[in-house]
Each structure stands twice: as structure tokens, then as C-alpha cells.
Amino acid sequence: MITIERIGALREQCDDARRRECSVGFVPTMGFFHDGHVSLMEAARSAHDLVVVSLFVNPTQFGPTEDLDAYPRDAEGDARRAAAAGVDVLFAPLIEEMYPRPMLTSVRVEGVTDGLCGASRPHHFGGVATVVTKLFSIVGPCTAYFGKKDYQQLVVVRRLAADLDIPVEVVGCSIVREPDGLAMSSRNAYLSSDERPAAAVLYRALEGAIKNVMSGERNVARVRDAAVEIVSTEPLMSLEYAEVVRGDDLASVTQLENGVEYVIALAARAGATRLIDNATFQIDGHDIHFDLYGFGTPRET
């Protein structure tokens, strides 16, 4: 694995790969790798000749009161894990490399950014959309891999790639969970020893909501309430939102229908630490397909 800090050098690697008719798989990250990141790298490795991982804590997607300065970092550990996962190129630019002058250009995605995390983080997805567009321009990947934990981000990136005709396939990979169900996240490092076990209530809330659907419930408000009730049993967790929305465009729904993918998405705080989690599901007649550890089989969509 080589580590590259400059855009020009990365472009050379990617251009060279394309000249040799090699396919390029890309995993954009903010580093502090856990098994979730590694699963994305492995998915890319299994399908592509050249695997590029970017490690860039993008300042423009953090709000002024958010955790940019505290965001956990471990450059050496990240390089070791990426190399072990078979990554070819780790792109780790400085902020000045990605933003060498004041950015006058921005990419915005409307609609799918209004609800869920977009409601409380008004500039977040604009920052994500702009930096992902830049990274796609730099790497020119055939396929890009995103974790489904940031489900709304996945929908935003899919939509911007389609709307801007960027020739990349955007693959969402299943959430990787700790043994007690907590979704892996770099931000889990913020949790105190009390908060850490409490945070697994989010997983149990998703599980409870899905059991509710399995038992025949089709009313969205009642499915949502099943999740809310479970989170409320954990005094250390404070719920920000719980929503059941359509999976492809995050549209509100009132009743669950056959053959449509839905996502139940949660955000909650443990002290100052904001955590998100979600599960996708689809009702097909008597079958119900879930993407939740312990229920469904992890799959790419």
C-alpha cells in the first residue's frame, strides 16, 4: 500500500490504472477505522483491480458547534488496517490540499436532505455532497462504497451521482455491529463506560420495531412508537428522532406496503455524543426481509 497526500499524485495512479484497463474501487472515509470501514475496503478489494481509500476529516460537513476538533484520529493505526485489508492507495490529503483557496462552488442536494439528520445538521449534507463530488472527480472510481449506517448520506450520494451523471456505481454496505448490537462508529470512542452499554438500546429499538412489523403491524406511527418506547427505557440515551421512511428517497409514509424498501432510522445522544443507527426492511407478501444483524443476512444493495 502506498500513502499519497497530493491530488496530482493520486490522479496519476488512477489514470495509470485506467490506461491498463484496471477497474478502480473507492472507499471515502474520515478515518479512525473500525470493522465497518474494513468491510467496505474488503468489498472494494473483492471487486476491483485498484482499491483507493481516502482519509479526510472534511471540515465543511461539521457545524460550528459540532465535534470537528475532537474527531478521533489514528493515522498509523489506520494505515496498518487499510494495508491489512488489501488497500492499494491510501489518500490522506491535508485540508489545504483539498481546499487550497476559498471554495466558491458548492453542490447541494435538496429534498432527501430535509429530514432525519438534515433537520438538525443544516449544512452537513452540503459539505458531504461537495467533498464527495470533489473526491469522485479526483479518483474517477468505477464503484464507490459507503456504509449503510450513514443511510441518509448514502441516499444523498446516490442522488447526486445520478443527477450530475457521474459515472460511478454507489454501493451501500451493511452496518457492522458490536456483539451487543451497537453499530460500529468512530464516534463510539467518545462513549463513557456507562454510556457504552446503554448505547446498544438503539439496536434493540430497531429490533423491536422490526419484530412489530413481523407481527403484522403496518401502521408506520405504531412501528415508530415501538422503537421510541424501547429507547425511552434507557435513561442515559436521549432520542433526537425516530422515523420510518421510504428507503430510496426518504419520503414520509403512513402505511407500510408490499414490495417497497423502508428504513427505520434513529438518532440519539449519550451525553454529548450523537449516535445514529438504522435498519432497512421490505415486506414481500408473507416474507419480511431485513438488513439488521441477527435478522437479515448482510448484503450489498
162 near a second copy (CB under 8 A): yes
Distance (Å, whole) CA 17 – CA 69? 36
Q: Judged by CB under 8 A, how many residues of this single chain contact a second copy?
A: 32
Q: Is 58 in the site for a second copy (CB under 8 A)?
A: no
Binder among 69, 76, 165, 287 for a second copy (CB under 8 A): 165
- Nearest Cα residue to 240 out of 153, 119, 122: 119
Between strands 50-55 and 273-284, the pairing is unpaired
Subset of 6-35 contacting a second copy (CB under 8 A): 7, 11, 18-19, 21
Ramachandran angles phi, psi of 263, nearest 5°: -130, 135
- Find the binding residues for a second copy in span 99-158 (CB under 8 A): 101-112, 129-130, 133-134, 137-138, 140
Considering only CA atoms, give the Rg of the chain. Answer: 19
Q: Select 53 or 132, whichever has its Cβ closest to a second copy.
A: 132
Find the binder of a second copy among 167, 179, 216, 285 (CB under 8 A): 167
- Cβ atoms of 156 and 125 within 8 Å: the answer is yes
- Minimum Å gap between C-beta 250 and a second copy is 11
Spatial distance between the Cα atoms of 261 and 185, rounded to a whole number of angstroms: 24
CB 112 within 8 A of CB 130: no
Kindly state whether residue 221 participates in binding a second copy, applying the rule CB under 8 A.
no
Q: How far is 141 from 237, CA to CA, in rounded Å?
A: 39
Minimum distance between the CB of residue 155 and a second copy, rounded to whole angstroms?
A: 10
Shortest reach from residue 194's CB to a second copy, in Å: 41
Which of the residues 37, 48, 123, 286 is marked catalytic?
37
In angstroms, the CA 96 to CA 119 distance is 30
CB of residue 43 vs a second copy: minimum separation in angstroms? 24
| Known catalytic residue at 48 | no
CB of 68 to a second copy, least distance (A): 21
Looking up cell 413481523 gives: 214
- Which one among 5, 12, 35, 163 touches a second copy, defined by CB under 8 A? 163
Nearer to a second copy, 164 or 253 (CB): 164
- Least distance from a second copy to the Cβ atom of residue 264, Å: 23
Helix (H) or strand (E) holding 127: helix 124-139
Q: Give me the DSSP letters along 17-77.
A: HHHTT--EEEEEE-S---HHHHHHHHHHHHH-SEEEEEE---GGGS-TTSSTTT----HHH
Choose one: 30-38, 60-68, 96-104, 174-182; the region binding a second copy (CB under 8 A).
96-104
Question: Which amino acids are annotated catalytic?
Answer: 37
- Which residues are at the interface with a second copy (CB under 8 A)? 7, 11, 18-19, 21, 101-112, 129-130, 133-134, 137-138, 140, 159-160, 162-167
